[in-house]
Structure 1
Amino acid sequence: MQELEKILEEIEKQKSCCLMIGYAKEYNQGALKMAEVIEDIIHKHMGNDGWIPVEERMPTKEEFLKDDGRFILDDGNRRYQGLFDIYDGKFKFSRHISGIHYELFEDKCVIAWQPLPDPYRPERSRK
């Protein structure tokens, strides 16, 4: 969280510099608008620890491909792993029927999602 606050401070300094230096009007307005967009993105992610509300957006194709459509989902009460169907744009959960057979069902309760975390990698000993 501290890193994001430092980034915001640096963006604010750059915005001030743009105003003081007085670049060409079009460039100045474009740079300030971009800084505001970046600030909004950072503020959006500061309070939700990486959770993305489904009203905001669904996973992209690249996010889908990273972990074979698996994501961490939140329904407001619990967090669990689920699947995203890139073809119909809906989250799914699987239920085992018998042995290795399972069915996928649409999960209508998801309010937020996030990508799976990176895999655990033990530290290498330094010798």
Structure 2
Amino acid sequence: MKIFLKVIDKLKKQTQYGEIAEPYLNCKYNKGWNDALEKVEELIASYNLSENWIPVDMKLPPEPKPNHIFKGDIYLITVKKGTIPFRAMWNGEYFTDGFEKLEVIAWMPLPEPYKEKKHE
């Protein structure tokens, strides 16, 4: 979500004349543009990450890619009567923590891992 907000900040038109004189001296396009971006910002801020959960009765993950380390792809899951989501493997048939079959009610893909930025 942070990336979207950063992009919106870069898209905003800077005022050249100050808030009071801007509407009279510059095109009202900039104000309309920035107003629209503010609405987009509000929509992004209102987005609830819990909406990313996919119930298993609606859809299962795709067939896992071949992997020589372990059998399956890793997902974030929620189990029946569980209060904390955790990661588990999907082997194409069921979710497992590596020891037992899990009673999963919803899942979501893991985000991309953090990549450290190189400072110049």
More helix by share: 1
Could you tell me the TM-score, scaled by structure 1's length?
Answer: 0.45
Could you tell me the TM-score, scaled by structure 2's length?
Answer: 0.48
More strand by share: 1
